Chains A and B, each alone.
Chain A
Amino acid sequence: MSDERSSQRPSSGPRKKRPFQRRKVCRFCADKQVGIDYKDPRTLRYFITERGKIVPRRISGNCSRHQREITEAIKRARNIALLPIAGSHVLP
């Protein structure tokens, strides 16, 4: 029993294989020209999901500093309706 379990563990693995590999380089570190600005929703859109959530760092590949700045910028942009708070809102 215990042998089976222990043998099964590594096969399923604690870490699932991702269907595709994302690049793990922070694009803001790679290109210093690109600034993070809450007034620029076009750049920020890249870092939100379809439902308007902020994409986590493990997916986007941002470094901690730039993820922090992105988060801040997205929240500011949401306040002034440059970005949606939750997905696309529909007017009745």
Chain B
Amino acid sequence: MSRMYETIYIVKPDLADEENKALTARINEVIEKMNGDVRKLEDWGIRKLAYPIEKLARGRYMYLRSDGDAALIAELERRLRLDERVIRYQTVKLDKDTVTAAPAAPVEAEETAPAEEAASENE
């Protein structure tokens, strides 16, 4: 049975663009193999984390909206768990389709130092 899911995963911020693309390609591969559907894949850019994960203060948020069955998510999460470039992931099952825009600017803007604002601007 096909269900709607959205996955947010956070990759390391110092990752090169090619590496990120490679990771994206792998994810697409997995979803395709498991007869799933990628509805949307968004890059929310590098944002400040509310708390450090693996001693990293920031991370690149990736938003994936996909259709598939439970086995797809199980496999996808297994891959994300094994991948060292991914520091955090979360999948949520949706009741109804959502039109989500990326939450505009990083919310922690008021806390960030001026040097960090430059990083958030290139979103």
Residue of A39, A81, A84, A85 touching B10 (CB-CB under 8 A): A81
Contact between chains at B52 and A89 (CB < 8 Å)? yes
**Which A residues touch B90, using CB under 8 A?**
76, 79-80
Per-residue A-contact encoding for B90-113, CB less than 8 Å = 1, 0 else:
101000001010010001000100
CB distance from B83 to the nearest CB of A (A): 16
Asked whether, in the complex, the Cβ of B50 is within 8 Å of the Cβ of A89, the reply is yes
Q: Number of A residues contacting the other chain (C-beta, 8 Å)?
A: 19
Q: Chain A's nearest CB lies how many Å from the CB of B10?
A: 7
Cα separation A41 to B51 with both chains bound (whole Å) = 14
Are A91 and B57 within 8 A (Cβ)? yes
Task: Using CB atoms, name the residue of chain B closest to A86.
Answer: B51
A53: chain B residues at CB < 8 Å are none
Q: Is the CB of A81 within 8 A of B107?
A: no
Check B10 against A80 for contact (C-beta < 8 Å): yes
Assembly CA distance A40 to B63 (angstroms): 13
Q: Which residues of B contact A68 (CB under 8 A)?
A: none
Give the residues in chain B near A78, CB-CB below 8 Å.
50
In the complex, whether B53 has a CB less than 8 A from a CB of chain A is: yes
Contact between B53 and A81, CB atoms less than 8 A apart: yes
Known A-B contacts A81-B49, A81-B53, A89-B51; A41 and B88 likewise in contact (beta carbons under 8 Å): no
Complex-state Cα separation, A42 to B8, whole angstroms: 17
Q: Which residues of B contact A45 (CB under 8 A)?
A: 107
The reply on A54 being an interface residue by CB < 8 A is no
**A88 contacts which chain B residues (CB < 8 A)?**
111
In the complex, given contacts A76-B92, A85-B50, A85-B51, what are 18 additional A-B residue pairs having Cβ atoms less than 8 angstroms apart? A37-B100, A39-B100, A40-B103, A42-B107, A76-B90, A78-B50, A79-B88, A80-B8, A80-B90, A81-B10, A81-B50, A81-B51, A81-B88, A82-B107, A83-B50, A84-B51, A91-B55, A91-B57
